[in-house]
């Protein structure tokens, strides 16, 4: 994986949260929080990003639950902390492949759409199992193929067409690059997890205008850095081209597209 795929800094966190939060992540965050309803004890969140799942968990779980929210990128956590004031939440920068926590210290570990960014998935799973108590729950999600995610597919194709000699490949390569459920199951078993459940969850993604997803993907993800590396002066132009592609595919107004992900549960 290219280093650019893990770069969430500068203007990216705020744009990511504003445009992609409602479009992609909040629907699955509510689903994930629902799956942990009634949970007690201590929960670790990895790849917390701008705190979208963190906020859903605070709204759903008892106030007695201790939640430690971590991310590799400090700028993402800084943005998240500004949006949530909850005494039960601790924010901490951490690498999910080398967690700075004691073994068997958490009752559950949650990771929404972060595993795809792990350069070594097996190492990430092994760390998850290490920090979970025996019988602890591991709950995470990954995007399905880009072909099963309409809006992301349209934007990615439009950006690629803008650079035909060197098309950016971030979207298919990383966010939508870890969808083989057989591989996921094998790697979880290899890390020592049992009772593995994999559910494919299809939801709808909605935005007020075609410009919203175009701005979110082109300027609020590492795809922005791919565009700027090719020609920084074209960022707004390429964003507009993506918005036009979304409008052609859906409508020049509120849009509604299919999103699909795998939600995985496992027991330590």
With residues binned 3-state (H G I as helix, E B as strand, rest as coil), the percentages for the chain, rounded to 5, are 45, 25, 30
Residue spans of the domains in the chain: they are 11-267
List pLDDT tens digits, range 152-172.
999 999 999 999 999 999 999
Tell me if 111 sits within 8 A of 45, measured CB to CB: yes
Residue positions counted in the chain: 268
Neighbours of 249 (CB within 10 A): 17
Complete DSSP assignment for 140-187? EEEE--GGG-HHHHHHHHHHHHHSTTS---HHHHTTTS---HHHHHHH
Rounded Cα distance between 262 and 255, Å, is 23
Q: Which CATH number is 11-267 given?
A: 3.40.50.150
Tell me if 242 sits within 8 A of 151, measured CB to CB: no
Tell me if 151 sits within 8 A of 246, measured CB to CB: yes
List pLDDT tens digits, range 177-218.
999 999 999 999 999 999 999 999 999 999 999 999 999 999
List pLDDT tens digits, range 51-86.
999 999 999 999 999 999 999 989 889 989 998 989
């Amino acid at each position: 994986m290219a280093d650019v795929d893990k770069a969430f800094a500068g203007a990216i966190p705020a744009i990511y949260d504003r445009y992609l939060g409602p479009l992609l992540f909040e629907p699955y965050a509510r689903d994930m929080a629902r799956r942990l309803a009634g949970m007690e004890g201590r929960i670790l969140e990895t790849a917390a990003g701008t705190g979208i799942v963190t906020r859903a968990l605070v709204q759903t779980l008892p106030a007695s639950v201790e939640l430690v929210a971590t991310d590799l990128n400090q700028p993402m956590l800084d943005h998240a902390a500004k949006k949530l004031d909850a005494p039960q939440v601790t924010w901490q920068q951490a690498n999910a492949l080398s967690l700075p926590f004691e073994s068997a210290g958490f009752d559950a570990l949650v990771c929404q759409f972060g595993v795809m960014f792990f350069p070594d998935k097996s190492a990430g799973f092994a760390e998850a199992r290490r920090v979970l108590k025996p019988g602890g729950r591991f709950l995470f999600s990954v995007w399905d193929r880009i072909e099963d995610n309409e809006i992301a597919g349209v934007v990615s194709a439009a950006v690629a067409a803008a650079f035909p000699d060197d098309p950016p490949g971030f979207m298919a390569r990383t966010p939508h690059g870890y969808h083989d459920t057989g591989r996921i199951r094998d790697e979880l078993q290899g890390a020592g997890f049992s009772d593995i459940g994999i559910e494919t969850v299809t939801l709808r993604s909605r935005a007020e205008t075609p410009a919203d997803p175009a701005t979110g993907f082109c300027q609020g993800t590492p795809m922005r850095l791919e565009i700027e590396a090719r020609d920084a002066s074209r960022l707004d132009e390429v964003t507009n081209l993506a918005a036009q592609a979304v409008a052609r595919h859906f409508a020049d107004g509120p849009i509604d597209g299919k999103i699909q992900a795998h939600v995985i549960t496992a027991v330590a």
